[in-house]
Structure 1
Amino acid sequence: MKVLLVNGSPRKNGNTDRALEECAAVLNQEGIETELIWIGAQAIRGCTACGACSRNGDCRCIFDDDIVNPLIRKAAEADGYIFGSPVYYAGLNGSLKSLMDRMFYAGGAVMRQKPAAGIACARRAGATITADEINKFFQINGMPVVSSTYWNIVHGRGAGEVEGDGEGLQTMRNLARSMAWLLKCIQAGAQAGITAPELERGTMTNMVRGDLIDGAN
């Protein structure tokens, strides 16, 4: 079994990376293989909702000049995921948001029903909002969201400051233990003949109406 950890910070060896490394160390102790990917500091274009990825049928974004498609291929080989983001303006880092928009739009099928978690690193505020933003990608894709013993956040600004957040690092370790436990449960279930549920797809309801009902919009 393998967990893919994605560092959404432009700083390769900052506090977000340190939190992910804490998760990876515990996963390795639990016998789970890990791979930590840094998305880099280069610009990642946002999704244009062109729909080409839906038509090509191969879980690939039409824009092939950045890390998105290579990461989708890595995601296809993984059994679980942890995405981490720094907090700059009370929310998800823009580069990671662009990456996840395209990655899940084009390649969501390769990650569906696999466990995942979002973590956030902030100087002070906005961390819980950011972790929740990441988790919403998993929730719409039928993926079990892995929890810990607190919200999946750590605090620190300068490189290395997260070391002072003992509870945050403890939360990362417990998150990794929960991830390992769930992966092992899924594996044991599969060996016992219990497979993922068949999900209904195809029905879409447009909640915007052009007519008026009883004078109301």
Structure 2
Amino acid sequence: MKVLLVNGSPHAEGCTYTALKEVAETLNNEGIETEIFQVGTRPLAGCIACGHCRQAGRCVFDDGVNDVLDIAQGADGFVFGSPVHYAAMGGAITCFMDRLFFTDLNSGKKAFYLKPAAAVVSARRAGTTAAFDQLNKYFMISEMPVISSRYWNMVHGSTPEDVKKDLEGLQIMRVLGRNMAWFLKCKEAGIKAGVPFPVREERIATNFIR
């Protein structure tokens, strides 16, 4: 089993990475393989609603979104991490998530369907719960079980050294890792026991203005 962790910070080994690394090490200790993908510092376009993903099954922009979508096909679970910018997700990871999940939806790949996901946010001081809520919405609209910890999945600090002093935050990351591992093992056991996936209904879209 494998969990893909996406670092949405422009800093490759900053505060968000420090939190994700704690989750990854815990998953490894539970026998789960991990991979951390760095969104990086290249400019990321927002979705331009061009419809290319419906035709080609891939986003028209080649800046990492398609790479993650390819990796996601073989991943069993996901953790998406973001720094907090102005009480919200960072701009780069927001563009990234919009296009990643929209491409998955329109391409019919279903790379995320019924795979567990968790959000992790990092801030110096405040704005964490707003960014945390924003991340979780991508999972819920994609029918992904959301994995929790014993508190909201957040760490605090201006530097990685500060985050390492946030003992409660690091514990939250470890509990998250163990909860993710437990869910993955339960899902695997259910599949082996022959428990079928839920019956899927055809999507109904109701417009409020007719």
Short-chain TM bin = over 0.9
Say whether residues 1:93 and 2:90 are aligned partners. yes
Q: 1:190, CA displacement in angstroms?
A: 0.1
TM-score (norm 2): 0.95
Give the conservation status (yes or no) of the 8 Å contact 2:18–2:160: no
Instruction: Give the alignment of 1:114-193 within 5 angstroms.
Output: 114-193=115-194
Q: Distance in 2 between matches of 1:146 and 1:62?
A: 31
In structure 2, the partner of 1:213 is none
CA distance in 1, matches of 2:131, 2:13: 20
Deviation at 1:128, TM superposition (A): 1.2
Deviates more, 1:144-153 or 1:192-201: 192-201
Spell out structure 1 runs of 4+ moving beyond 6 A. none
Q: CA deviation at 1:159?
A: 3.3
Q: Quote the Cα distance in structure 2 between the aligned partners of 1:148 and 1:195.
A: 27
Aligned to 1:61: 59
Deviations 1:155-190 (A, max 9, x none): 011232101110000000000000000000000000
Rounded to whole Å, the distance in 1 between the matches of 2:23 and 2:71 is 19
Instruction: Report deviation, 1:131.
Output: 1.2
5 Å-filtered alignment, 1:28-67, equals 28-56=28-56, 58=57, 60-63=58-61, 65-67=62-64
Structure 1 gaps of 5+ residues are 210-217
Once the two structures are TM-superposed, the CA of residue 107 in structure 1 deviates from its matched residue by: 1.8
Counting matched residue pairs gives: 206
Distance 1:166 1:155 in 2: 10
1-structure distance, mates of 2:90, 2:201 = 32
Aligned to 1:78: 75
Q: Distance in 1 between matches of 2:159 and 2:32?
A: 30
Cα RMSD (Å): 1.0
In the TM superposition, what is the alpha-carbon distance from 1:48 to its structure 2 partner?
A: 1.1
Tell me the TM-score normalized by structure 1.
Answer: 0.92
- CA–CA separation in structure 2 for the residues paired with 1:88 and 1:159: 17
- Alpha-carbon distance between aligned partners in 2 of 1:110 and 1:61, rounded to the nearest angstrom: 14
Q: Is residue 14–residue 160 contact of structure 1 (8 Å, CA) maintained in 2?
A: no
CA distance in 1 between counterparts of 2:202 and 2:178 reads 32
- Structure 2, unaligned stretches of length 5 or more? none
SS of residue paired to 2:199: coil
Residue number in structure 2 paired with 1:200: 201
Amino-acid identity (%): 51
Q: Which residue number in structure 2 is paired with residue 20 of structure 1? A: 20
